[in-house]
Structure 1
Amino acid sequence: MTAIGFVTRTMHGGFRGQLKFLPICADIDIVPNRDKSGDIAPDFRIFTQGLEVGSGRILRGESRGRDYISLSLAAPGLGIRKLCANLGRTVGLNGDGSFFLIWNPVD
């Protein structure tokens, strides 16, 4: 698994950190979607420098039955494909509120 960033949980229920992916190094904010209406809307919105660049959804893992957050980012600097990642806990690093952005290549 390839880590492409690192975030920590904020006191407002979101996450703040950095996306580091080849030529891209950007501060990101993953913010709970307080305006969510229905199952189609994302659970989180992702911003960098005030611009929305992606979304996140809380999903349930099939094998362990645990919830996790799946992220999808799209921006001109990433080309025409979406960048997909999951938040994975950083066991033993910076406490319970720290997560790696684990690259999830899409076929």
Structure 2
Amino acid sequence: MTAIGFVTRTTHGGFSGELNLLPICAHIDIVPNRDKSGDTSPDFRIFTQGVEVGSGRILSGESRGTDYVSLSLAAPGLGVRKLCANLGRTVGLNGDGSFFLIWNSVD
């Protein structure tokens, strides 16, 4: 698994941290979607410098049945493909509210 960033849980139920790719290093905010209307709307919206660059959904894992956050980012700096990642807990680093952004190479 390749970690492409690091975020911590915010007091408002979202996450804040860094996305670190070779050509891109940007602060991101993963904010709960307070306007969610139905199952097709994302659970989170992802912003950098006030611009929305992606979304996140709470999914349930198949093997353990535990919930996790799946992210999808799209921006001109990323090229024509979407970048997909999952939030994975950091074990022993910065407490329970810390997560790695784990690259998900979905084709």
- CA distance, structure 1, for counterparts of residue 100 and residue 18 of structure 2: 10
Structure 2, gaps ≥5 residues long: none
- CA distance, structure 2, for counterparts of residue 79 and residue 21 of structure 1: 13
Count of residues in Structure 1 that have an aligned counterpart in Structure 2? 107
- CA distance, structure 2, for counterparts of residue 98 and residue 41 of structure 1: 25
Normalised to the residue count of structure 2, the TM-score between the two structures is 0.99
> Match of 1:83?
83
> Match of 1:48?
48
- CA distance, structure 2, for counterparts of residue 53 and residue 4 of structure 1: 16
> Match of 1:70?
70
Normalised to the residue count of structure 1, the TM-score between the two structures is 0.99
> Any idea what the Cα deviations from partners look like across 1:45-64, whole Å, max 9, x if unmatched?
00000000000000000000
- Residue 22 of structure 1 deviates from its aligned partner by 1.1
> Any idea what the Cα deviations from partners look like across 1:20-75, whole Å, max 9, x if unmatched?
01110000000000000000000000000000000000000000000000000000
- CA distance, structure 1, for counterparts of residue 47 and residue 61 of structure 2: 25
Does residue 102 of the first structure (1) align with residue 97 of the second (2)? no
Does residue 93 of the first structure (1) align with residue 96 of the second (2)? no
What code does the residue aligned with 2:25 have? C
Secondary structure of the 1:94 match is coil
- CA distance, structure 2, for counterparts of residue 99 and residue 32 of structure 1: 16
Structure 1, gaps ≥5 residues long: none
